[in-house]
Amino acid sequence: MTTEEPKPRRRWLQFSLRTMLIVVTVLCVWLGITAKRARDQRWAVEAIREVGGIVGYEHTGIRLGWPAVTINGKTMSRLGMQPAPVPGPEWLRKLIGDEYFFTVSGVNLYGSKANDATLAKVSRLTGKFPLNAEATGVTDAGLEHLQGLTNFNVLNLRATGVTDAGLERLHGLTNLIMLDLRNTRATEDGVKKLRQALPNCKIYYQIP
């Protein structure tokens, strides 16, 4: 007479505990990343508004203040042209903050008191969006904070203190499709090198 061996329940329990620990670990990592992104965005938005800048979100849009530009096959001079619902339930946004649901879609610093320190905070924002720093106190030192980032698809540095040294720090912004360098201290040689590094970017520049 043969008897059936009992099923290895203990092994199944160990497997279940291991799976649960993995799921909990992944969830904790995701929550940590989400919280950091929200915290960095809140910090950056506050700094932008302190100097008189304007922040646009995906559901609100923002006037860019420069010529129309084509992004993702659509020509626009304003982000968020189509109305969009406010993301996230209102009660939850009040509880944990808008930054967990809102995504910055554009930053306009035109004519504000923004400087190099402001760009350091703007660089903490995630996602691809236009940045207008025209007629601000931004210099080459500020562009160092943008070096190697891929956040920006449109960058307006018109009427700033940027020189050829600062342009070298923009060579890694491979997602740029438009860059305005008019009325800066950049030279034709520096712009030529930048165009070689960013062949898909439309660069506005005039010889001083």
Give the model's confidence band at 74: pLDDT under 50 very low, under 70 low, under 90 confident, else very high: very low
176 lies in some domain? yes
Q: Which of 84, 74, 204 is nearest to 132 (CA)?
A: 204
Task: Sheet with 152-156: list strands edge to edge.
Answer: 54-57, 104-108, 129-132, 152-156, 178-180, 202-204
2 lies in some domain? no
4 lies in some domain? no
Structural domains of the chain, count: 1
127 lies in some domain? yes
Cβ atoms 62, 108 nearer than 8 A: yes
Residue 78: what pLDDT? 44
Give the model's confidence band at 26: pLDDT under 50 very low, under 70 low, under 90 confident, else very high: low
Give the model's confidence band at 25: pLDDT under 50 very low, under 70 low, under 90 confident, else very high: confident
135 lies in some domain? yes
* Unique residue bearing structure tokens 């034709």: 188
Residue 6: what pLDDT? 55
3 lies in some domain? no
Q: Find the domain containing 110 and state its range.
A: 9-204
Residue 76: what pLDDT? 47
Residue 189: what pLDDT? 97
87 pLDDT exceeds 50? yes
* Residue 126 to residue 108: CA distance in whole angstroms: 16
Of 56-60, 116-120, 133-137, where does mean pLDDT reach its minimum? Answer: 56-60
Structure tokens at 82: 């189509």
DSSP 107-173: EE-TTSS--HHHHHHHTT--S-EEEE-TTSS-BHHHHGGGTT---EEEEE-TTSB--HHHHGGGTT-
Structure tokens at 28: 């904790």
110 lies in some domain? yes
Cβ atoms 82, 58 nearer than 8 A: no
pLDDT in tens, 160-194: 999 999 999 999 999 999 999 999 999 999 999 99
Residue 208: what pLDDT? 60
Containing 24, the helix (H) or strand (E) segment is helix 9-50
37 pLDDT exceeds 50? yes
Residue 74 has a CB neighbour count (10 Å cut-off) of 9
Structure tokens at 55: 């922040």
CATH, residue 195? 3.80.10.10
Residue 21 has a CB neighbour count (10 Å cut-off) of 10
